[in-house]
Homo-oligomer: A and B are copies of this chain.
Amino acid sequence: MENASAPPSARTAGTLISSLDITPEELQLAVRNHSMPLEALRYAITPVGLHYLLIHFDIPSVDVARYELVIGGHVTKPLRLTLDDVKARPATTIAVTLECAGNGRALLQPRPMSQPWLSEAVGTAEWTGTPLASILEEAGVRAGAADVVFTGLDRGVQGGVDQHYERSLPLADASRGEVLLVYAINGWPLPPQHGFPLRVIAPGWYGMTHVKWLRSITVTDRPFEGYQQATAYHYRTSGDDAGAPVTRMLPRALMLPPGVPDFMTRARFVEPSEQVIEGRAWSGHAPIVGVAFSEDGGESWSQARLEDSFSPFAWRRWTFRWDARAPGEYELCARATDVEGNTQPLDQAWNLEGVQNNAVQRVRVLVGRADATQVPADSR
């Protein structure tokens, strides 16, 4: 722990991002898409507008009067469902935490070129819809089915391929009881940015799975080879590496940064005091069983208090009483572990696409008075 007698400096307490500069292309993505401001960790259910969003192409315009979801492919009875047809089916509401597979990408060095997320591309919502399994059952999946392909109405070019956004799930995963065709978020109809009129929610999986603006669901008799499935969203360490597909969320804990921020540097100032640090932790693999807290950048760890889980597919709140009475500079960390023993690394192993980054969050905090001597004159 640093308890230096020298006055802390906001410059050193500022960013923990790679010193590499962000390109104009990354900025274009960063101003379109957005993460969840970390103070929104205080809400069990993220208010609409604070939930993270990644939209590959453009939000499509949908005329719901003419909208039909087409279910077909390797089935005995293809279906066409209107939004009202889907709403008339049995409804389920589940609280689900979604995280972008590329969360943390901008913290890697060298930085993979794509949406430049820091650590907060996450959110938890109450999603209402109808189980996909019963629709697949009604359509009559034929023997030999392999994947269930979800195709969105959104279209664009990625990696040189003109495409509608589409992803698949193996039939067994698509048929799980918690996989829903969703038409409401937090009790309200889906807003355009969350996939109006229908999207899929596959609890536990990284964000790329939950295809928005669904136009079709197609059962295939062989593995789906679409761009977003076979090319993108793989953990690869080199261009020659066939890689492993990205599937379920690795464990992660995030904390609500204590104190108050500096506008430009986002440095945090805390008055000497006892602080209750709060945050949330989740894993798409297994229930979270522990969150550890460090005030010294991960040199030493203490167990945080875990609150009861309110949904098997949502984050769990944790708190830690932090003694912040001694002025100085601290690097706060939180580290989640799930019941399968998956835990967060202290340092991130690099990969080509910058996916599955779940290194521990690091929040630099200055305990002391927030005044002009601590903040660079050029920050405003």
Contacts and interface: CB of A to CB of B under 8 A. Distances in A.
A65 interface: no
A193 interface: yes
Contacts of A37: 32, 55, 58-59, 193
Contact of A262 (B35, B157, B373): B157
Interface of A: prevailing SS: loop
Contacts of A215: none
A49 B212 CA distance: 16
B113 A264 contact: yes
A47 to B, nearest CB: 5
B378 A263 contact: no
Interface stretch (A10-18, A327-335, A338-346): A10-18
B159 A49 contact: no
A101 to B, nearest CB: 13
A24 interface: yes
Interface string A24-62: 111111111111010110110001111101011111010
Contact of A42 (B61, B370, B379): B61
Interface stretch (A72-80, A116-124, A247-255, A283-291): A116-124
Contacts of A161: 372
A48 B194 CA distance: 11
A156 interface: yes
A39 B156 CA distance: 13
Given A39-B59, A40-B59, A378-B113, A24 B30 contact: no
Contacts of A372: 160-161
A261 interface: yes
A66 interface: no
A377 B15 CA distance: 31
A164 to B, nearest CB: 10
A197 B365 CA distance: 29
B28 A24 contact: no
A378 B14 CA distance: 31
A58 B261 CA distance: 7
A106 interface: yes
Nearest to A23: B21
A14 B29 CA distance: 12
Contact of A31 (B23, B35, B159, B379): B35
A349 interface: no
B19 A22 contact: no
9 contacts: A21-B22, A27-B116, A32-B35, A47-B192, A49-B49, A113-B378, A157-B262, A160-B371, A160-B374
Interface of A: 10, 14-15, 17-19, 21-35, 37, 39-40, 42-43, 47-51, 53, 55-59, 61, 106, 113-114, 116-118, 120, 155-162, 191-194, 231-232, 257, 260-267, 269, 370-375, 377-380
